[in-house]
Amino acid sequence: MTAQILYEQIGRLAARHQSTLKILVLVTKQSSFQAHRFCGIRYYSKMSVGESTNAPLLLRLVSEACTTANTAGSIVRKVLLSGELGVVDKGVNDLQTKADRCAQYYIVQRLKRCFPKATIIGEEGDDVSENLEGLLSPATTPPEPLFPEILNKSVPEKLLSISEENVVIWVDPLDGTQEFTKGLVGHVTTLIGIAVDARPVGGVIHQPFYEADGVKGRTMYGIPEVGHGGFTVTPPPEGKRIITTTRSHSNQRVEATLAALQPDEILRVGGAGHKAVLLIEGRAHAYVFASPGCKKWDTCAPEAVLVSIGGILTDMDGIPYRYSKDVEHVNQGGLLATAPGVDHSWYLKSIPK
């Protein structure tokens, strides 16, 4: 049984019978899933490698975001295994779990510690506070960078002079919460997008439940005009049109748009981050959502990663989104993203107005 299948079975149990998971926790108590006690003072007092280097600010931001997202993914896994999802209904099709709250609290506290002058906007608001005891391993040394090569990359002149005060970091600690509560954990991602002058300059997508070669979680990053890592770019198949769209937020306009594009296949999945991964991996040509609904924290990181490999992300009229700290959070113009090498303009012309 693969780890992802195991996680999905556990997730379904968590959604239906949270008390059942207490048995699983007892069984795995002595396994690698057992969390250690956490000393917040000791952990947050440590200086990261990203802080201590002389690398350009942009590279330090992305490097720290990668390491932070990777740890947040571990928090998400441990919350699932605990069986205590702590689901809160925030509104129509808008759920929040303990994993959302704990992951955001960790991400925000960590990034504030490293970049105190940056603006950080998280999906769960400004007042999220959670006890992380049992969800983090004790840190006796600063965490090593997940991708050491990031700090040695060349940065264009225009990105060398950015200041911390102008940085806006958009955080979605658990993209695909509805799927998470239903055990569809393969749809879940953690997103950290970095914007300067209202445009994405770096993005991190982490998949907590991805596993390869015994390593749990996969982190990928993209820095437009600089580089990317954590994945291999794969072109989508020729001679077909595969479109990915929402799994649970469809409406008449969304369906009419999809019909007009005449796809050979439609992949209905959860999470904006997950849909972006389908484009990155060449499993879909376009991500189409012809309706307001997704937010800036859903798209900032995916846009940065897609642009870094030659993809495009805009609203349904081809207008790029802005990511300044005072911008409206909802993406009112819907979303159209295309994989590298795909003709974005064809989709714009084919979408009914």
Annotated catalytic residues are: 100, 177
DSSP string, 175-224: E-HHHHHTT-GGG-EEEEEEEETTEEEEEEEEEEEEEETTEEEEEEEEET
Burial class (CB in 10 A: 0-12, 13-18, 19+), 352: exposed
Question: At 87, which amino acid appears?
Answer: V
- Structure tokens that stand for 164 in this block: 């911390």
* CA pair distance 270, 18, nearest whole angstrom: 22
Question: At 302, which amino acid appears?
Answer: P
Give every CB contact of residue 13 below 8 A, 6+ residues apart in sequence.
Answer: 20, 21, 24, 83, 183
DSSP 152: G
Longest dimension (CA), the chain: 58
